[in-house]
Structure 1
């Protein structure tokens, strides 16, 4: 499998309906996914990243300030090789609820799900290969960070399966990077169960050993705070240089 073919037959769902309350003072009425970074909207960088791995279809799960995102797409600023579908939830539905709302637009047997306010330069070909080899219905992309205090850690066994999700604590650690590969059947089951939060209602409730973990050597960026947003340009510029 070539890198440029890794996502050729995998639809991508980007969760981008959050309110962005922590950085509203910086962005104002600009949604997080359109935060200006290195002279371009964050969504443009994200779509370029997906395009490099052969992505052909991206479903944007939108909510707050969705009209700004659709207007940006209408200007043609996104990667032209990707079919971008916008779905606007009528009210905040949660991360799992948002996937339920857009389920009809996800046509592939395996779906890549990712948060719309994080970025990492992970090798998605390796992630797809890990998922397929594991035989698991769901895989979590993980990274090791110097400061895991803002994120919940994951405990991973020698078989590369997640044993448990841990509480936030200071210091370095391996975290859930907010990028997932799910089988369509797995998605259908948690939608049918009425899950709202992908993390609390789905992932953290599964029996130990259910989830495959792929630890990537990658730089991880969460643009959800003013400090991390300010650091975003150097991270993205480093990847694109």
Structure 2
């Protein structure tokens, strides 16, 4: 049995973080995001191969995955000649599909019993199954309407308030039978949500929904990227490095150097090779990536720093994300949800007085 990870998007909503690195391998703590999705797929023993459908910076993904030993599952790389959309990418992989296929959007992190979804798909003798997630604010999403028997009836793309008839959204996880894929034209962009699924409904195919109450997030924006780190630290999505840890845990790698007089407030994560100098404060929900250097009396609150960032003395960071290799000058202040791309430089602020 095969699974497809739709990992070809440019990650434009997550820019500038994705200018130099494709979204599937942006770090969540110190692991590429893609590995969390592979962890979920490996729960299904019958999956013997995962097809990575790539287009944007595919070499970066192949290089990273290729350097991971004992991945635990076979990977096939398919590089789209052009961006083919969610359905077009599946059609592009169809020559390798001879059985039921599980499909994952490249943005989704979820706690899901995937084996139970597969069992449901088979028990309903469905040609397609979509996983849905109930949300509190359905107006912000495209909705999926089902009948009392769990059959999918229609898709509502970000409806007006008076049009809202349900609170279930597309969770970006599907199970599909290859016999349905002829509806997708070859070698052209095609949407699974706007074209393929409506065609199944119109043709009367057995298309059912599985509603999941487990954790779910789309990591595709800076705000949600920050949020997923908070959620893992708070135990809402149980995974390393905070699995089974007490609330408010400070996780510090063995090779990190924390000088005397540093304040660490949990939950926070400090990776290998990090140096934090005297007088610095590392506040809750902060992530310091590998080999970051934090100067004297720096104050960092609820921020995510990718590897090799340097923060000079007296700087203040609050609720920011810094790409790899950023340099923040002495006395600089950055806050209010700012996101900086790789190697950004913020100069010293000589007139700062606190």
**Long gaps (5+) in structure 1:** 1-9
Q: 1:90 aligns with which of 65, 81, 84?
A: 81
Q: 2:208 aligns with which of 196, 206, 212?
A: 212
- Checking the alignment, whether the CA contact within 8 Å between 2:83 and 2:189 is kept in structure 1 is no
Q: 2:54 aligns with which of 47, 52, 62?
A: 62
Q: Secondary structure at the match of 1:43?
A: helix
- Checking the alignment, whether the CA contact within 8 Å between 2:58 and 2:79 is kept in structure 1 is yes
- Checking the alignment, whether the CA contact within 8 Å between 1:142 and 1:177 is kept in structure 2 is yes
Alpha-carbon distance in 1 for matches of 2:116, 2:221: 29
The residue aligned with 1:5 is: none
The residue aligned with 1:23 is: 14
The residue aligned with 1:200 is: 194
The higher radius of gyration belongs to 2
Q: Deviations over 1:180-220 (max 9, x none)?
A: 11111112343469771111111123227741001011111
Alpha-carbon distance in 2 for matches of 1:235, 1:47: 19
Normalised by the size of structure 1, how large is the TM-score? 0.87
- Checking the alignment, whether the CA contact within 8 Å between 1:221 and 1:235 is kept in structure 2 is no
- Checking the alignment, whether the CA contact within 8 Å between 1:59 and 1:106 is kept in structure 2 is no
The residue aligned with 1:4 is: none
Q: How does 1:39-118 map to 2 (within 5 A)?
A: 39-54=30-45, 55-76=47-68, 80-107=71-98, 109-118=99-108
Q: 1:233 aligns with which of 216, 229, 233?
A: 229
How far did 1:35 drift?
1.1
Alpha-carbon distance in 2 for matches of 1:38, 1:148: 29
Alpha-carbon distance in 2 for matches of 1:192, 1:67: 24
**Long gaps (5+) in structure 2:** 244-354
The residue aligned with 2:169 is: 175
Alpha-carbon distance in 2 for matches of 1:235, 1:84: 29
The residue aligned with 2:179 is: 185
| Bigger relative contact order, structure 1 or 2 (CA pairs below 8 A, ≥6 apart) | 1
Q: Secondary structure at the match of 2:5?
A: strand
Q: How does 1:115-130 map to 2 (within 5 A)?
A: 115-130=105-120
Q: Secondary structure at the match of 2:93?
A: helix
- Checking the alignment, whether the CA contact within 8 Å between 1:97 and 1:196 is kept in structure 2 is yes
Q: Secondary structure at the match of 1:86?
A: strand
How far did 1:41 drift?
0.5
Q: Deviations over 1:60-105 (max 9, x none)?
A: 000011111001011116x622001011111111111111212222
Normalised by the size of structure 2, how large is the TM-score? 0.61
- Which structure 1 residue ranges, 4+ long, deviate > 4 Å from structure 2? 169-172, 191-195
- Checking the alignment, whether the CA contact within 8 Å between 1:145 and 1:220 is kept in structure 2 is no
The residue aligned with 1:6 is: none
- Checking the alignment, whether the CA contact within 8 Å between 1:195 and 1:202 is kept in structure 2 is no
The residue aligned with 2:319 is: none
Q: Deviations over 1:25-55 (max 9, x none)?
A: 1333111101110211001111112112323
The residue aligned with 2:219 is: 223
Alpha-carbon distance in 2 for matches of 1:52, 1:236: 20
